[in-house]
Amino acid sequence: MRRNFTKYITSEYIEAATQFTTARSKVERRIMVYVEGYDDIAFWRGVLSPFENEKLCFEVNVPTRDDLAKGKKVLLGMAKNLGDNLILCMDSDFDYLFQGKTEQSAKVLNSKYIVHTYAYAIENHRCNASSLHGLCVKITKNDREVFNFEHFMARYSSAIFPLFLWYAYSALSANTRFFILANFKSAVNIGFVDVRSDGRSTIDWVRRSATDKLRSLEKSHPEHIKRVKEFGVSIAQLGVTRQNCYLYMNGHVLKDNVMVLLGSVTDLLKEMIMENIRNSSRKGAALDNEISNYKNSIRNIKEVINDNENFKSSDLFKMMERDIKNIIG
């Protein structure tokens, strides 16, 4: 028989356990934090750590179940047990944009003890445009600014924005059959980036692809056109614009595209370093060693994105901080 051990954990239980161990520790309050999966632990640890002190600590875990189930629905099943010492941290998905119009959105937004990303997911924070140059430096050890990431992501967002509205609306209407994620992904996919022209041809290609899909949707489902526009007006009040909608799109789709973008830019940056090495006075074994040392210093793009914490000055992150401060008092 499958058992869900986390259903027995309550805020009161955590408080009592903390009091029991107070004699051996200065910690007066331990807040147990549950997240969606193992990949989320490091992200939320980085978010929560600045709030810790000698009297307050967080412990970040995934739900303990013998069926190994994880994810947002599992977390929300714990909602009735939450309190000052037991909280949940999760991706917003579209729940922030839906503003309580669905049962799940209402549950996420109305609980003081649920901290959500406001952006679609943790991947959207990690792919914040303002942090991408820094990731290139970590990957290549080259600090030359050869590409304007913020300008590119603003243009990319603008190109996909009308289609983004249709996909988000289809999720809100619980009628994703007419516009599934795979179709959205294929329409907004970045297959290449022309770095030396600041990505202009890439944006043009994405805009054409998104526009073709948009026209197809409008032709096939004209009954939704007005509602999609109304949905766009409603989320504009939350700060969603044509230039920043990438922060609210599916996080895995965004991450896949940003990896292509970073791959193109870092290839150029690495080649610049290699050219400098080859043009140096080093010869023979010394040259080979320098090339080998540089290649060994290069980091994996996916790992660097997963380690990224240079998004903490964003408005969405500050909203998360506000919610955490509201919990700890």
Whether 104 is in a domain gets the answer yes
CA 226 to chain centre: 30
Same domain, 146 and 78: no
Q: Which domain holds residue 252?
A: 124-311
pLDDT at 14: 55
* Strands in 91-169 per DSSP E: 114-116
pLDDT at 221: 95
Same domain, 147 and 97: no
Whether 195 is in a domain gets the answer yes
Please answer whether residues 249 and 124 qualify as being in contact, where contact means their C-beta atoms are separated by less than 8 angstroms: yes
pLDDT at 21: 53
Same domain, 42 and 132: no
Whether 112 is in a domain gets the answer yes
Same domain, 270 and 148: yes
Count Cα neighbours of 275 within 13 Å in the Cβ-side half-sphere. 7
**DSSP state, residue 300:** P
pLDDT at 26: 78
Whether 237 is in a domain gets the answer yes
| Residue 241, helix vs strand vs coil | coil
pLDDT at 20: 46
Count of structural domains within the chain: 2
Same domain, 162 and 178: yes
Whether 324 is in a domain gets the answer no
| Residue 104, helix vs strand vs coil | helix
| Burial track 278-316 (b if 16+ CB lie within 10 A, e otherwise) | eeeeeeeeeeeebeeebeeeeeebeebbeebebbeebeb
Whether 317 is in a domain gets the answer no
User: Residues near 7 by Cβ (< 8 Å), separated by ≥ 6?
Assistant: 77, 78, 81
pLDDT at 65: 65
Question: Which residues of the chain fall short of a pLDDT of 50?
Answer: 1-2, 20, 22-23
